[in-house]
Structure 1
Amino acid sequence: MIRGLAAMQDRNFRWFFLARAITMITGSMSSIALAFAVLEIDNDARSLSFVLTAFTVSNIVFVLFGGVIADRLPRALIIQACYVVDILSIGAIAALLFTGNATIPLLVLLSIVNGASTAFVLPAMQGIIPQLTTPEHLQQANAMLSFVRSAVTIGGPVLAGILVATAGPAWAMVVQAAGWAVAIPVLALVKLPPPSHAGGTTMFHDLRIGWREFWSRSWLWTVVLAFMVMNAIHIGAWGVVGPYIAKNNDLLGITGWGWVLSAEGAGVLLMTLLLMWFPLRRPLRYGMIGIAAFAIPVTILGVHPAVVLLAMAAFIAGAGAEVFSTGWNLAMMENIPGEKLSRVASYDMLGSFVVMPIGTLIYGWLITHADPATVLVTSGVVYASIALVTLMVPSVWRMGRPEAITKTPAELADS
């Protein structure tokens, strides 16, 4: 089989990939649909922030418990159960919109349910991938999933905009729920051995075991601590200041900002294709160098946000981000025991999620009290510095992969 598609040799991965592709495609329009659903009820940005914050906070609260459960129970079953919950919550939103009974408090409540469900899905997703394929195919498996994710990031908002504009946000919710309903029986075709978790321990005991695994690896907690700051910068500089500049600077404009985001997605897409074929021998070294490239578009956004220049920088940053994403997944999946992977991943996710609301608030305040150019240039310098300083940690710099995995077929034949 073609090297880039080698993971498709594994039956379990084929079915999981199909189910995941279905949910990523149908779910790619959910954020836009939800945003317009909220604004249709109450055309106030604060109402939208309440609904989105409810999802994020619920995710933060439950993600550690999601990691414990994903190490205790069959991960495919957990994902299926959460999809059922999602169908009910998303279907309820659609029904409320169709009947005209939707209110902001009800959407906040349903977002809490959806956020909690996602908190159980994500650690299970992280833990199940090494079970689906061989170590030799792990990089290709992650790259293939990233390829679909990046493709729908580019095309999903366009399809969502058309559907919401022509049929309304409720129908976009119906499409998403239908995708989840199709994915459930497809996931039932994934056949894995039962988890090896020994019974008789409490949930908090399992959390302590996961924490010890997390803290015993300097490369792991170093990168997570770095991303606690880097993610705050990313969501603030790119998610808050970026649209503000696009709206108020004719050099960029709202349309230009759309092109910049598309270029970033295209960079991710191209890199996923390359990573299907070329082995990543130093996952964290190259990953942290790649993620540091995000400082380039952030700095240009502040200094001279011309569309073409900024789009080129965003393309490079997108490619670099995908190197990190694949490298990080490989580092986790190849170095954390499978029976503890979901718990360790949940600590990683907690560190990533908890700073997002903080970053949004800080940059919302900064943009009204300081010069945007100064804020962005400073953010770029700090971001790149933090990313590159992590390379001074020996375990980050030196981490490699098993030689047999990183060899090309030609190299294996010669050895």
Structure 2
Amino acid sequence: MTPPGAATAALRSRNFALFFTGRAVAKLGDAMLPIALSAGLIQHGHGPGAIGAALASLTVFLAGFVVFGGVFCDRFDTRTLMIGADLVRVVTQAGMSALFLSGHVVLWQVCAIGAVNGVCAGLFQPGVASTVPRVADDVQGANGLIRTAESLAMLLGPALAGTLVGGFSPGGVFAAHAGTYLLSAVCLALLRLPAARGRPAERTRYRADLAEGWREFRARTWMWSVILIWMVYMVTVSGPLVPLTAAEIIPSQGPGVYGLVNSALGGGTALGGLLALRFRPERQLRAGAFALLGCCCYPAAVGLGLPPAVMMGAAAVWGVGGGVWSVMWATSVQTQVPGQILNRIHAYEVAGSLAMMPAGQALAGPAAQLLGARTVLLAGGVIMVGISAALLSVPAVRTLRAVPRRTPARGRPSAGRGAATRDVDA
């Protein structure tokens, strides 16, 4: 356990406070997006297949572009790329708002906007991993705080989106989403970061940078093992979850209830982030894998058609498990990988994690038609138990030890610290 206030002391850093605010606000908009998109498409006569296609359009381009985004972040100014990605998404979400407000919603146009957003996310996401160690010395504490704030945004976002959709229009949600990206860009622009340490002095070719990132990724058994297992999770559990839960809950209970269920998930994730902020296990990934066992509850509850209150409780349990895992995983990546290759390693990790999600999203509709949506969700609950067991069965994952927190020297600003070089787990 950490002493009270040890992690939250990071908030006194101007850089961390700005980064923290930008991530929380952007997450608020991201949390509103699935509800607005699902409810809006359903209102215009589309089903789970269309919802899955719209969500997959973003994920496909994110997964396909993020590896190149990692190279760009290592070669150019990371913050500038992140700001540019945010500003482009301000424009795309304003366009999505106009599309839904006009009442003339064309699926291919929604998917095209999602594709542009996916490319932008691919440019933005690699920089997150390398920025956290530069704005905070206590990486796990920083991740815990960020995850908690993001989760509170997830708690408020779905409820706010459900209210806006029910009382106004999905278009209003997309307009608000554009505003969150604008504020995120402003926060990033106000950061005062020193030059990142460990960048290569010689400019190599893109292909060589990609190859180096791949070699470093493959050299870490704990990382590629998790990603392989996560690909199964994405196609069987996470990918179908949003389209099928939306198709099950919204027609029978309304968008408001669906928003409340997602808010409960956000609340659980916030609690998981708080637990991970205080709980400092020596073997972080093992603790996170045990926490994932609780994630079986949510798809099972929806699949069984249980009352809304029970679904909310199950979603909260899912959130706790996912919140703990995400902090443990992010901290492991950011502390175990050398700073000069962290953007590229993180890019391969994100690409691998998301590679199969579009397949799960796209197959949600056909699978529901063939087997029934509730059967697919129940199967996802069972598979989630197997995912946790598979993670625990890999020695490199189960035994990976946490890197001790480095205490900054007196008088040295915490924002200037780069990620320390770590030994490769072969």
Change (3 A) 1:127 1:205: same
CA contact (8 A) 1:267 1:318 kept: yes
| Corresponding residue for residue 383 of structure 1 | 384
CA distance in 2, matches of 1:360, 1:300: 20
The number of equivalent residue pairs is 401
* Code of the aligned partner of 2:46: D
CA contact (8 A) 2:73 2:127 kept: yes
Decide which moves more: 211-220 or 20-29: 20-29
Matches within 5 A, 1:36-115: 42-45=44-47, 48-95=51-98, 103-115=106-118
What are the superposed Cα offsets for residues 71-119 of structure 1, whole Å, 9 maximum, x if unpaired?
2222221111111211222233345556778754443333222211111
CA distance in 1, matches of 2:290, 2:296: 11
What are the superposed Cα offsets for residues 23-75 of structure 1, whole Å, 9 maximum, x if unpaired?
223443334444555567x5333655544332222222211111111122222
What are the superposed Cα offsets for residues 267-310 of structure 1, whole Å, 9 maximum, x if unpaired?
21222223333324321000111113222444455567355555
Structure in which a larger fraction of residues adopt helix: 1
CA contact (8 A) 2:16 2:136 kept: yes
Does 1 or 2 have the higher relative contact order (CA < 8 Å, sep 6+)? 2
CA contact (8 A) 2:293 2:385 kept: yes
Question: Displacement, 1:219?
Answer: 0.5
- Output the TM-score relative to the length of structure 2: 0.82
> Which residue of the other structure, out of 206, 223, 227, is the alignment partner of 1:224?
227
* Code of the aligned partner of 2:402: R
CA distance in 2, matches of 1:254, 1:230: 26
Change (3 A) 1:390 1:157: closer
CA distance in 1, matches of 2:143, 2:63: 24
What are the superposed Cα offsets for residues 163-187 of structure 1, whole Å, 9 maximum, x if unpaired?
3444434443333333333333332
Does residue 119 (structure 1) correspond to residue 140 (structure 2)? The answer is no
> Which residue of the other structure, out of 122, 128, 132, is the alignment partner of 2:131?
128
Decide which moves more: 323-332 or 357-366: 357-366
What are the superposed Cα offsets for residues 158-209 of structure 1, whole Å, 9 maximum, x if unpaired?
2223334444344433333333333333322212233423343111211111
5+ unaligned residues in a row in structure 2: which ranges?
408-426
- Output the TM-score relative to the length of structure 1: 0.84
CA distance in 2, matches of 1:201, 1:29: 41
Change (3 A) 1:43 1:70: same
Change (3 A) 1:102 1:199: farther
Taking every aligned residue pair, what percent have the same amino acid on both sides?
28
CA contact (8 A) 2:22 2:185 kept: yes
| Corresponding residue for residue 416 of structure 2 | none
Decide which moves more: 49-58 or 265-274: 49-58
5+ unaligned residues in a row in structure 1: which ranges?
407-415
CA distance in 1, matches of 2:55, 2:285: 32
* Code of the aligned partner of 2:93: I
CA distance in 2, matches of 1:30, 1:373: 23
| Corresponding residue for residue 412 of structure 1 | none
CA distance in 1, matches of 2:369, 2:110: 30
CA distance in 2, matches of 1:254, 1:55: 22
Does residue 338 (structure 1) correspond to residue 334 (structure 2)? The answer is no
Question: Displacement, 1:333?
Answer: 0.4
CA contact (8 A) 2:145 2:277 kept: yes
3-state SS of paired residue (1:3): coil
Question: Displacement, 1:381?
Answer: 3.5
CA contact (8 A) 1:280 1:327 kept: no
CA distance in 2, matches of 1:36, 1:375: 21
CA contact (8 A) 2:162 2:258 kept: no
Matches within 5 A, 1:128-207: 128-134=131-137, 137-195=138-196, 196-207=199-210
Question: Displacement, 1:228?
Answer: 0.5
CA distance in 1, matches of 2:142, 2:275: 13
What are the superposed Cα offsets for residues 347-376 of structure 1, whole Å, 9 maximum, x if unpaired?
121122221122234443443334767655
3-state SS of paired residue (2:226): helix
Cα-Cα RMSD: 3.2
